[in-house]
Amino acid sequence: MTSIRPPKPGCFLFTSESVNEGHPDKICDQVSDAVLDACLSQDPDARVACETSTKTGMVMVFGEITTKANVDYEAVVRETCRNIGYDSADKGLDYASMDVLNKLEEQSPDIGQGVHGMGTKAVEDIGAGDQGHMFGYASDETPELMPFTHSMSTRLGWQLTKVRKDGTCPWIRPDGKTQVTAEYKRLKDGSMVPQRVHTILISTQHAPDVDNEKIKKDIMEYVIKPILPENLLDADTIYHINPSGRFVIGGPHGDAGLTGRKIIIDTYGGWGAHGGGAFSGKDTTKVDRSAAYAARWAAKSLVANGFARRALVQVSYAIGVVQPLSMFVDTYGSARFGFTDEQLCEIVKRNFDFRPGCIQRDLNLKEPQFTKLAAYGHFGREDCSPAWEVVKDLSHELGAGLCQGKILGMGNPLLDMSNTVEPSVLTEYGLEANNAVLAEDKHKPLYETLDKMPNTDYIPGGATQNSIRTAQWCLKNDKKDSGTSFASYMGCVGKDGYSEKMKAICTKEGVTATYMEDPSVPTGTCAVLITGENRSLVANLSAANNYKHEHLKANYGVLEAASVVYSAGFFITVCPDAMYDASQHCLDNNKTYCLNLSAPFIMEVPPFWEVVTKLLPKVDFLFGNETEAGVFAKVKGWTETDVAEIACKISMLPSEKAKSRTVVITQGADATIVAKDGKANLYPIEKLSKEQIVDTNGAGDAYVGGFLSKLVQGCSVELCCRAGAKAAAVIVQQSGCTFP
């Protein structure tokens, strides 16, 4: 009888494996792709079908190649083995003394002429190099939209190689294998959510003089801990480290190797499906390779754009025929916004050209880039960002999916009153250039002065309202729809002319502003005094401080209509009860709750910090900048000062959500840090010249607004960050949070 430690009720177990670059089969994959890259570097039109085999003291390359390139194949083989680390027969292979057998021949001219046209056909007319069916897959369970078990087993193998090559664990040798079993829960929407790591298996080749105890200790400390999310490991996680005992003899000395025998490791770790064709050693006129890349591009883009939580794309070909024979999309019941799989298949057809020559063109497949992909997987590779991993924006296809009021912002509304003034005005009110202060009694006449001045600009402001207005503007442009209100906003205003101005502008922009009106106090205002390149801000919060939870209760339908709810941290100072209510509603209804740290004092003042800590377990996306991240760490008593490390630690704090928290830290002109499950990635911002920048005050708010505009569509973090960077780049070229 089979005996396995069972998963929790309602969960299931799934396993994926990986092998290191020193595994005999992976040696062969890398050699075959190194031959391909060597040919492509001299001849982008090279036709290559290179197989490799290896056994003790020998590597043989064989197959068919047609190229103008003059390649020293023996040198390519030896250099590849040297780079892997096979520099001694004691390790399983010595690149310097091994035999290299070259059995490469010229490709059949019948195939070259009939299928590829040998340079005589236009790109659009190139036929498939063979028949077959290929698959692409994506799942939103990891940031790179790959299956968790596959991603973790692959990263463990990569980490084994890293600590071998950097000297951390010099006793590790090139050959090795990894395997991860995870406990999954299948949600009602068809998505897969890893609940915990059930079993980790690592078998690594090692030097003969290292004992098993040190092997286990080092693997735990330097391989497993840096890779596996701490929150998914528990006391019941099973560890098998070199379970067979000693593993000294490895590489080709231990086992024969052959190209194309690790196709599941190369793709999705057993998830999705596989058509059977290997990748390595084949130029991309072979649709086994190119169409699988294109199918991944399409599947990833569907998931990243929010059409589905998981997606499988199949495409098939006939030799010599230009157009695919069939296409199929399966989202496993996870399609969103009312789309069917058939409709998503049509979206793929409209937006991706699966003709073989067009795939080559669109994915830059004539460039030498394949050796680095021949180990550690061809998909989800954020380290080298191949073209098929760059998400294609499909938001133009999603217009019908969004309905009114999908984003709700709750915050402190202010009406910005902006005008250019003489420096004497600053002196009159006791201000300095670039001040940012709260209004005192002596400043109160300033607002009336601005009101009477010609050319004063009135701009709805306050951090949350800026972000919501930006999100609405982005969505309106995305959808080419000026009539739909995609965003709603709540906050407190007075019953006066300022509130009427603010309502009118929001209505014109498409934001549904459901303000609470307090007739006892004036609407909050912010004087923006421009003197040359300087901007001085004087904020009179007034009514913005008076929002009450009862207003949310009376307008609960606005909250119920939203799928994403956002507040800047400043709202903590006004109405934490409304934030508790909104965050709990999101938790109970599988919605997304977002919070911005906003300012250091939100964490430094104990009552406000208490609200942050109470909200945080319900927060899906936490925003901040590098200064706020540093203060967060200081208040928590952490010793870390590196912003990425801090973001990772915040992402690992306890969460009540089924999915882990994402932490987004902007860094001004530097790349944005996004951390999830204790792992950080960098996303670039749009670079502007000094001359292009007009006003940076609203950059952070605009970034969040752009981010939310994609988040509400279910898009990937990559697309959200791209939209955030674009929105911020637009807004800093305007005066105030205004739109071109």
**Domains by residue range for the chain, with CATH:** 11-17+147-258 (3.30.300.10), 24-119 (3.30.300.10), 132-139+261-397 (3.30.300.10), 402-731 (3.40.1190.20)
64 is catalytic: yes
CB 402 within 8 A of CB 712: yes
What CA–CA distance (Å, rounded) separates 622 from 665?
A: 8
577 is catalytic: no
**pLDDT per position as a tens digit, 277-313:** 999 999 999 999 999 999 999 999 999 888 999 999 9
**Which residues, including other chains, have CB under 8 Å from residue 119's CB and lie 6 or more apart?**
45
Query: Among 498, 524, 525, 528, which Cα is nearest to 431's?
Result: 528
124 is catalytic: no
pLDDT at residue number 112 = 55
177 is catalytic: yes
238-241/11-19 β-pairing: unpaired
pTM of the model: 0.76
CB atoms within 10 A of CB 441: 6
Sign of CA dihedral 642, 643, 645, 650: positive
What CA–CA distance (Å, rounded) separates 631 from 635?
A: 6
Bridge partners (DSSP) listed for residue 192: 186
What CA–CA distance (Å, rounded) separates 551 from 562?
A: 16
Radius of gyration of the CA atoms of the chain, in A: 29
Answer left, alpha or beta for residue 678, where phi above 0 means left and psi between -120 and 50 means alpha: left
Q: How many CA atoms lie within 13 A of 553 on its CB side?
A: 6
**pLDDT per position as a tens digit, 463-500:** 999 999 999 999 988 777 777 888 999 999 999 999 99
What CA–CA distance (Å, rounded) separates 472 from 178?
A: 46
Task: Indicate if the pLDDT at residue 390 is higher than 80.
Answer: yes
pLDDT at residue number 399 = 61
Q: How many CA atoms lie within 13 A of 136 on its CB side?
A: 32
Sheet of 534-540: strands edge to edge?
436-438, 534-540, 525-531, 414-420, 457-461
Catalytic residue among 261, 479, 503, 618: 261
What CA–CA distance (Å, rounded) separates 474 from 36?
A: 43
pLDDT at residue number 420 = 87
- DSSP E strand boundaries for 334-413: 407-410
Say how far residue 454 (Cα) sits from the centre of its chain.
47
539 is catalytic: no
Enter the tokens of residue 472.
């609405």
* Mean pLDDT computed over 391-399: 81
Catalytic residue among 43, 64, 189, 581: 64
Going by pLDDT thresholds of 50, 70 and 90, the confidence category of residue 695 is confident
CB atoms within 10 A of CB 580: 15
262 is catalytic: yes
23 is catalytic: yes
* Mean pLDDT computed over 131-140: 96
Catalytic residue among 148, 247, 339, 621: 247
What residue spans of 7-85 are helical by DSSP H? 24-42, 73-84
Query: Among 167, 198, 172, 174, which Cα is nearest to 184's?
Result: 198
pLDDT at residue number 400 = 44
Q: How many CA atoms lie within 13 A of 328 on its CB side?
A: 14
- H/E stretch holding 329 reads strand 326-330
Sheet of 257-258: strands edge to edge?
99-105, 58-66, 47-55, 257-258
More confident site: 338 or 58? 58
Enter the tokens of residue 373.
């992909």
Query: Among 716, 739, 117, 112, which Cα is nearest to 382's?
Result: 716
Query: Among 529, 353, 567, which Cα is nearest to 427's?
Result: 529
Give the largest Cα separation in the chain, rounded: 91
- H/E stretch holding 299 reads helix 287-304
Enter the tokens of residue 136.
């692409």
Catalytic residue among 51, 141, 283, 620: 51
Enter the tokens of residue 108.
């059949």
608 is catalytic: no
288 is catalytic: yes
**pLDDT per position as a tens digit, 596-645:** 999 999 999 999 999 999 999 999 999 999 999 999 999 999 999 999 99
What SS3 state is found at 265?
helix
CB 490 within 8 A of CB 410: yes
**pLDDT per position as a tens digit, 142-195:** 889 999 999 999 999 999 999 999 999 999 999 999 999 999 999 888 889 999
Average pLDDT, the chain: 92
Residue percentage of the chain with pLDDT more than 70: 97
Q: What are phi and psi of 368, to 5 degrees?
A: -70, 115
pLDDT at residue number 111 = 54
26 is catalytic: yes
Catalytic residue among 74, 87, 94, 255: 255
pLDDT at residue number 441 = 85
Say how far residue 263 (Cα) sits from the centre of its chain.
25
Bridge partners (DSSP) listed for residue 493: 517
The amino acid present at 687, given as its one-letter code, is: K
What CA–CA distance (Å, rounded) separates 405 from 591?
A: 14
pLDDT at residue number 125 = 86
pLDDT at residue number 678 = 86
CB atoms within 10 A of CB 94: 16
DSSP secondary structure letters along 307-323: SBSEEEEEEEE-BT-SS
Catalytic residue among 207, 256, 561, 671: 256
